[in-house]
Structure 1
Amino acid sequence: MFRRRPPLPAFPPGALLVGGGARDWLRGVRPKDFDWAVPDPEAAAREVAARQGGAAFPLDEERGYWRVHLPEGVQHDFVPLPGDVMDDLLRRDFTVNALALMADRQVLDPTGGQADLRARRLRMVSEANLRDDPLRAWRAARFEVTLGFRLEAATEAAVRRVAAELSAGLLPMPAPERIRDELHALLSHPDAARGIWRLEELGLLALTLPELREGIGVTQGGFHHLDVFAHGVEALHQLLARFPDAGLPLRWATLLHDVGKPRARGVNPKSGRTTFYEHDRIGAALTKAILTRLRLPSAEVERAAALVRAHMAPLPAGEREARRFVHRRRELLPDLLRVMLADREAARGPQSHPAIRHAYARAMDRVLGALEEQPAAPRPLLTGEDVMALLDIPPGPAVGEALRAVAEAQALGEVRTAEEARALLLGREDAASSSGPPHL
């Protein structure tokens, strides 16, 4: 049984509430995205914006599409009312979206969408509609997770055929930005890990994240009980179970943290054991390439790649090392710890015994304590000009190196004043001079 239906905003004159907004209301969920078919989209958009305190702007002036953003993430889209509403509904993706609600709460339902809502069933309107816009194959996987529905057999078979034809080049691939948006809607859900498995089962992951699939069947041993691919998906599950508010760059980094392992795999000639040296570096480069291909904002790409690059950083054994860890990786915290924790919790192999897990937790506590003690980097004690004057050196890399040395000593509590910072640098210079030239 669906929940009691929530109140709806006033309908614009002559409007129909269509698609997802009508679907969510019928299942007792308050819509956040409203799709309206109206006689005059611009007038309706401006009226809603004025009444509810939002901003109205054209999405596509040529076609007359308008959008209104309201507080708390509510969005209203307005499109021209079609000449034949039923025909328009019959061109939609799934029966649960081929619904329209009138102002008097009458429902237009030409495909039996209400029965599918009650059965929690995801059924295509037609296979031709899926082929007309192959992005709907990704949407099927997303709706299974976000709506909690299940694809009926004929629709699942059609989605698999669409995936196969996309792979064979018989259908055009959707724009990367549209695929990204579907992936982000899926990744934003608490059960995103199941969605990744579903993309794989439907043949869509190979079209989306082929690099991630390289880990299928790549065994690891040691701390790990899963292959590289399954471990990455399980790490995402562990992350979301503990940090449901994790941002998208953190979710991406957790899913992809070991994506470099298949290409880094080697064998130690002495022990014969499988190795994955440099997989963090390779993985960071692959993460950057994947997310750039999906057209993520550059700042999010860099953040996710940096987390992948740093996820193998050794945790500190003492308080001083914890302060150093925080100083060197401050910009990635606390997200880096969250990736590392998810990585560890997704590994339950023979070497992952309770004592090691306890030691890992204690090391994380040390880092969190150091971060709490010094949540922001202390104000610099010296400037570049100070360093150049003190050491009598020109601008260049040596100045930056000296400033970094002072900043780290300051973070560790070894220097507290400008005078102590100057003494540190002069001592470094004396030590370097006293070493003299190498013996020949």
Structure 2
Amino acid sequence: MWRRRLTLPRRWPPGALLVGGAARDLLRGAAPGDWDWAAPDPELAAEWLGRQLDGAVFALDQERGYYRVVGPAEEQHDVVPLPADLTSELLRRDFTVNALALAPDGQVHDPSEGQRDLRARTLRMVSEANLRSDPLRLLRAARLSITLGFRIEPQTREAVIRLAGEDWPSPAAERVREELHALLLHPQAARGVRLLEELHLLQRWLPELREGLGVEQGGFHHLDVFQHNVEALHQLVQRFPEAPLALRWATLLHDVGKPRSRSMEGGQTHYYGHARLGAELAGSMLARLKAPAALETRVSALVAAHMVPLPQNEREARRFVHRRRELLPDLLQLMLADREAARGPQSSAASRRYYQQGMDRVLAALEEQPSAPAPLLRGQEVMQLLSLAPGPAVGEAVAALAEARALGEIHTPEEARVWLRDWAERRG
């Protein structure tokens, strides 16, 4: 059965075996994302692949014989030495479906019956000791279960939960981040987050998120804070399958500040300042994962803005677009996902229509003015006109002038000068 379905790649380094996830993917009829090879002469195999792919060859660790080849379409091949004892090497892997090696004649080295588990779409540990040797494998269990669509067999699930509760050094933040990103970018990202909680892994790496468990909200909400955050992510991915990573993070964490901002007033629960606090928490969580600064900044900005009221008229819509242009359309998509994830007693068809009208006003304003209009006066002109020295006051004046331009209050440099003088007089 497997042999009939197997299509071997045309480019096969001399004497090499395809190992791990790449072999797994070929055997299940999928194209590998990355290619891992074990070769008798890794340098020779890497150079051969470089010529075949017209790619660049890099020595990752020349002394140990680790090489990487990157093709013109970012296709990545890693080449390592072929072990003297292939079986022992494969049995040190995490899961049986990854403990595979494929020869160029189609023969499969399978010491842990990984092909059986491939057929059953089951994720089974090779051994508990292997999971313990690299705790990142616990997180990988969740990620692979979601991305491959495999069930985690009971003993493996029990081992992951048990090991999650033990005290061990955390893997490098970068490795954790990449696993979480792979999970979040999958169409079943929300189910993946719930699986992390089921496996007791969320407490290890995203504890702030699970603080929302059991924090009931009422009003427009029918779910506790944690489940609402996850449902919002589900709503986002369902409606916007191409949603970028920053938007997915922001949607998952949009209410992460609620548990710590919760207060009671007049017998009612409030979450004053939760968007601001949530932005700070989201930033610190991503910083802990050593995420790129641009990602951290974008996510924090989206979380901070997600509670901004939608406009009630066209003028307000133009102001909304002007002030938050750099966050659009992501901010609208986050707000829509947030609203669609809330179906509490105060939610109604009328409230949803009202919300949609506000969205439509913003979209119309954005279509009318897709980019910021060119400034009518330069900063130097503003300084001369108002007799200002360089400093914050100049920035305030320039910003106010830009907003008036975006709102359609002024259209020419002369109108801008008149408006600016009036503005300065009103400010005293």
Same-fold call, TM cutoff 0.5: yes
Is this contact kept in 1: 2:8–2:106, CA < 8 A?
A: no
Q: Distance in 2 between matches of 1:117 and 1:26?
A: 8
Distance verdict in 2 for CA 1:213–1:44, change over 3 Å: same
Q: Distance in 2 between matches of 1:60 and 1:320?
A: 60
Aligned partner of 2:363 among 361, 368, 371: 368
Deviations 1:121-163 (A, max 9, x none): 1111111111111110100011110011111111111111210
Structure 2, unmatched stretches of 5+, are none
Report the Cα offset of residue 300 of structure 1: 0.3
Deviations 1:301-334 (A, max 9, x none): 0000000000001001111111110000001000
Q: Look up the SS of the partner of 1:357 in the other structure.
A: helix
Distance verdict in 2 for CA 1:6–1:382, change over 3 Å: farther
1:437 paired residue number: none
1:117 paired residue number: 118
1:10 paired residue number: 11
Is this contact kept in 2: 1:382–1:421, CA < 8 A?
A: yes
Q: Distance in 1 between matches of 2:427 and 2:269?
A: 41
Report the Cα offset of residue 7 of structure 1: 4.7
Q: Distance in 1 between matches of 2:215 and 2:423?
A: 48
1:238 paired residue number: 235
1:134 paired residue number: 135
Residue 286 (1) aligns with residue 287 (2): no
Report the Cα offset of residue 5 of structure 1: 3.9
Q: Distance in 2 between matches of 1:14 and 1:429?
A: 78
Q: Distance in 1 between matches of 2:10 and 2:327?
A: 42
For structure 1, which segment, 131-140 or 41-50, has the greater mean C-alpha deviation from structure 2 after superposition?
A: 41-50
Q: Look up the SS of the partner of 1:46 in the other structure.
A: helix
1:263 paired residue number: 260
Q: Distance in 2 between matches of 1:54 and 1:261?
A: 49
Distance verdict in 2 for CA 1:331–1:160, change over 3 Å: same
2:51 paired residue number: 50
Deviations 1:338-377 (A, max 9, x none): 1101100000101110111111112111111111111111
State the TM-score, normalized to the length of structure 1.
Answer: 0.95
Report the Cα offset of residue 181 of structure 1: 0.9
State the TM-score, normalized to the length of structure 2.
Answer: 0.97
Q: Distance in 1 between matches of 2:178 and 2:302?
A: 22
Q: Look up the SS of the partner of 1:245 in the other structure.
A: coil
Q: Look up the SS of the partner of 1:57 in the other structure.
A: strand
Distance verdict in 2 for CA 1:353–1:259, change over 3 Å: same
Residue 248 (1) aligns with residue 249 (2): no
Is this contact kept in 2: 1:32–1:73, CA < 8 A?
A: no
Pairwise CA RMSD: 1.4
Q: Distance in 1 between matches of 2:357 and 2:63?
A: 60
Aligned partner of 2:198 among 193, 196, 201: 201
Is this contact kept in 1: 2:279–2:303, CA < 8 A?
A: yes
1:313 paired residue number: 308
Q: Distance in 2 between matches of 1:361 and 1:278?
A: 25
2:419 paired residue number: 424
Q: Look up the SS of the partner of 2:208 in the other structure.
A: helix
Q: Distance in 2 between matches of 1:10 and 1:71?
A: 15
2:174 paired residue number: 177
Is this contact kept in 1: 2:215–2:259, CA < 8 A?
A: yes
Report the Cα offset of residue 68 of structure 1: 2.0
Distance verdict in 2 for CA 1:5–1:363, change over 3 Å: farther
2:377 paired residue number: 382
Q: Distance in 2 between matches of 1:207 and 1:193?
A: 18
Q: Distance in 2 between matches of 1:432 and 1:267?
A: 38
Report the Cα offset of residue 217 of structure 1: 0.4
Residue 301 (1) aligns with residue 296 (2): yes
Q: Look up the SS of the partner of 2:165 in the other structure.
A: helix
For structure 1, which segment, 299-308 or 413-422, has the greater mean C-alpha deviation from structure 2 after superposition?
A: 413-422
Is this contact kept in 2: 1:6–1:30, CA < 8 A?
A: no
Q: Distance in 1 between matches of 2:45 and 2:368?
A: 53
The residue type equivalent to 1:141 in the other structure is A
Is this contact kept in 1: 2:218–2:344, CA < 8 A?
A: yes
For structure 1, which segment, 58-67 or 251-260, has the greater mean C-alpha deviation from structure 2 after superposition?
A: 58-67
1:92-111 → structure 2 map (5 Å cutoff): 92-111=93-112
Count of equivalent residues: 427
Deviations 1:41-62 (A, max 9, x none): 2332232223223222222333
Is this contact kept in 1: 2:94–2:131, CA < 8 A?
A: yes
Aligned partner of 1:350 among 331, 345, 350: 345
Q: Distance in 2 between matches of 1:324 and 1:5?
A: 58
Report the Cα offset of residue 419 of structure 1: 1.2
Q: Percent identity?
A: 65
Report the Cα offset of residue 420 of structure 1: 1.1
Is this contact kept in 1: 2:24–2:97, CA < 8 A?
A: yes
Q: Distance in 2 between matches of 1:235 and 1:9?
A: 44
For structure 1, which segment, 343-352 or 375-384, has the greater mean C-alpha deviation from structure 2 after superposition?
A: 375-384
Q: Distance in 1 between matches of 2:408 and 2:47?
A: 58
Structure 1, unmatched stretches of 5+, are 434-440
